[in-house]
Structure 1
Amino acid sequence: MTTISPEEPSLVLIVDDEPFIRMQLRLSLQCEGYRTVEAQDGREALTIFQQRRPDIVLLDAIMPDMDGFDCCTQLQCLDSSKYTPILMITGLEDQESVDRAFEVGAIDYVTKPIHWPVLRQRVKRLIQQSQLQRQLEAANQELQRLVTIDELTQVANRRRFEEYCAQEWQRMAREQLPLSLILCDVDFFKSYNDTYGHQAGDRCLQAIAKAIKNTVKRPADLVARYGGEEFAVILPQTDAEGALVLAQTICYAVSTLAIPHNNSQVSSYVSISAGIATEIPHPNSDFQAIIAAADRALYQAKTEGRDRVQLYNKQSSPTITVYPFPP
């Protein structure tokens, strides 16, 4: 039986130049079950913050060298501080000091002499709010991932494909760099489904998607299920030659899966056809142009007999046929 270990207690960073105040804070917070770490000035606090990633910072406003206001400002510049609340502890109650504390990023403040029940409640509330914010962000990210991922194949879906294609088309237009697109279609897939059943067809698509994804290495490249048995690969900053090599490698990777297909008219195993288009986009042009070109190349590949790569080239001949070869 698997046991679930309890969550580690929250870590509180105490920043104060007075040892007695730090001791009081440490003992009070440890009695509430928190872990603590201490810094005696702002500079030490910045170092410890990056090393330990506390769940909350209790920050004295008035300290020598770097005061709490400057320290708070610098903490806000750290990426890891996004969800870490800062509670300012100050002996100043004038409106200007309070306004400044919030301006530099403090979430709340307490005044000296410290009212301990108030401090404990505020620490508890701020940590809870921070944890809820993190959970909400994680849930939103997961929701966004689910919205853009094809459930069956776990690659990007059509919606994400079009968003990313439009984004990279505009970026390549600004930088005047090439964008390539590969459209892939599983050869005789309807016949495969009719022969082996739809569950086998789903497993076939999953295996092909994984093979394509494993072949496409660069983080900027996107593999997507374009629809049905069609897949697409968006390749920013890639010329026709580079896209051609990758398309051949993808075709070879699918052939090495050796998925039996007795009713295929081109091979005893599942194969794919691929169409490639490459464009240096014009400013204010539509990304649908490259999709149409790749689709024409894919149609030509299927017309020519399937199990091959077709490169669209509007400058010379409309298409160039290349048979896949082992890389």
Structure 2
Amino acid sequence: MNSESFLSSSRFDLLKSLILIVDDDRLVRMQLRVWLEADGYRVVEASDSASCLAAYEQYHPDLVLLDLVLPDRNGLDCCAQIYGMSGGSYTPIVVLTECEDEQSIERAFALGVADYVTKPIPWLIFRHRLRRFLEESQKNRRLETENQQLTRLATLDGLTRIPNRRRFDEHLDAMWRQMVREEDWIAIAIGDVDFFKAYNDTYGHLAGDRCLQQIAETLRQCCYRPLDLVARYGGEEFSIVLPQTNLAGALSLAERLRVAIDTLKIPHSGSEVDGIVTMSFGVAAARPDVNMWADLLLEATDAALYKAKSLGRHQAYGVKLQGTPQGS
């Protein structure tokens, strides 16, 4: 079977596969490159572990052919580092060696390498195994991508395309634990669209959906720190997790959000405030410890929102969680 028919028989698009060859022997690299490029693969070379890791990080190859003995490090140590890098767990690594060392073979497969091949490489046989490794790797990568997309969809609100209540709860729990460890502040803000039922009654539910979409995008753009999270809390309510933020900082942000919504100037003839769509915000902050629960902060935020609405809406009201140490 020639190279062309060999490749066309594959059910996968292997022609674009990139293979990283890591060997300090230039002649070995040259021979492997000739074989691989004849079968249509793309090739990157490295002669030691440092250049191997740099090439892996830059190119993210689909497979690595890795010599067991490198001038600056044991090849298996380099292999372990690759598996710890982004995407490394889905990259087949084939270890190359000139002798069969039982201890090294055991360690190689314990690390998770795809194969262990002695030199000189029996290319006519090995090329078929190589294709199988690449096919399996591509399937695993596709499955991982699909799983990530499903997870993302499960945590996005269908209407506004921002995180949903489930994602909010997950993020709040993670950030609460992190702030306990760091002994730092965390705040929550919940915003409610004023007189939204009247808006739907006046303009219809489609207009109401568009209004919520505009608000969601505005809130998202105003909360740009990496750990902040804006989510649709439910109905016309939006929630924001603000790690490393005390009460003063959270109130300042809530006020900025309130003004940003005003600036949209969405007409609302059914509103009792200014004839445009406005929002009320409840804010609560705490410096948590192991004896406190995130639910307490959430309850305090709900109470603050109720207070803001009872005071006439279109404002932000904040509270410090009872028992929180003073200071910032």
Query: Normalised by the size of structure 1, how large is the TM-score?
Result: 0.86
Structure 2 residue corresponding to 1:241, chosen from 245, 248, 252: 248
Tell me if structure 2 keeps the 8 A contact 1:184–1:232: yes
Contact 2:163 2:230 in 1 (8 A): yes
Structure 1 residue 265 displacement after superposition: 1.1
Cα distance in 1 between the residues matched to 2:254 and 2:208: 22
Instruction: Work out the number of aligned pairs and report it.
Output: 310
Q: Structure 1 residue 105: deviation in Å?
A: 4.7
1:178 matched to 2:175: no
Query: 5+ residue gaps in structure 2?
Result: 1-12, 323-328
Q: Which residue of the other structure, out of 143, 155, 159, is the alignment partner of 2:162?
A: 155
Unaligned runs of 5+ in 1: 1-5, 316-327
Counterpart in the other structure of 2:218: 211
Counterparts of 1:167 and 1:200, CA distance in 2: 35
- Is 2:141 the partner of 1:141? no
How much has 1:70 moved relative to structure 2?
4.3
SS of the residue corresponding to residue 264 of structure 2 reads coil
Structure 1 residues 37 and 218: CA distance shift in structure 2, 3 A: closer
Letter in 1 for 2:181: R
Distance (whole Å) between structure 1 residues aligned to residue 189 and residue 174 of structure 2: 17
- How far off is 1:238 after superposition? 0.9
Partner SS for 1:256: helix
1:230-309 equivalence runs, <5 A: 230-309=237-316
Give the Cα separation in 1 of the matches to 2:122 and 2:15. 27
Contact 2:14 2:134 in 1 (8 A): no
Q: Give the C-alpha shift of residue 181 in structure 1.
A: 1.3
Distance in 2 between the 1:45 and 1:163 partners? 37
For 1:188-207, what aligned pairs fall within 5 Å after superposition?
188-207=195-214
Give the conservation status (yes or no) of the 8 Å contact 2:297–2:321: no
Deviation at 1:44, TM superposition (A): 4.1
Residues 152, 202 of structure 1: 8 Å contact kept = yes
AA paired with 1:159?
R
CA displacement, residues 144-189 of structure 1 (integer Å, 9 cap, x when unaligned):
1111111111121111212222222233233332221111110110
Aligned counterparts of 1:294 and 1:65: Cα–Cα separation in 2: 57
Say whether the 8 Å CA contact 2:61–2:91 is kept in structure 1. Answer: yes
How far apart in 2 are the matches of 1:203 and 1:30? 54
Aligned identity (percent) is: 48
User: 1:260 is aligned with what amino acid?
Assistant: P
What RMSD in Å do the two structures reach over aligned CA positions? 2.3
Relative to 1, partners in 2 of residues 1:7 and 1:209: Cα closer, same or farther, differing over 3 Å?
Answer: farther
Tell me by how many angstroms 1:283 deviates.
Answer: 1.8
Of 105, 124, 132 in structure 1, the residue corresponding to residue 139 of structure 2 is: 132
**Distance in 2 between residues matched to 1:89 and 1:83, nearest whole Å:** 19
3-state SS, counterpart of residue 219 of structure 1: coil
- Partner of residue 232 from structure 2, selected from 225, 232, 235: 225
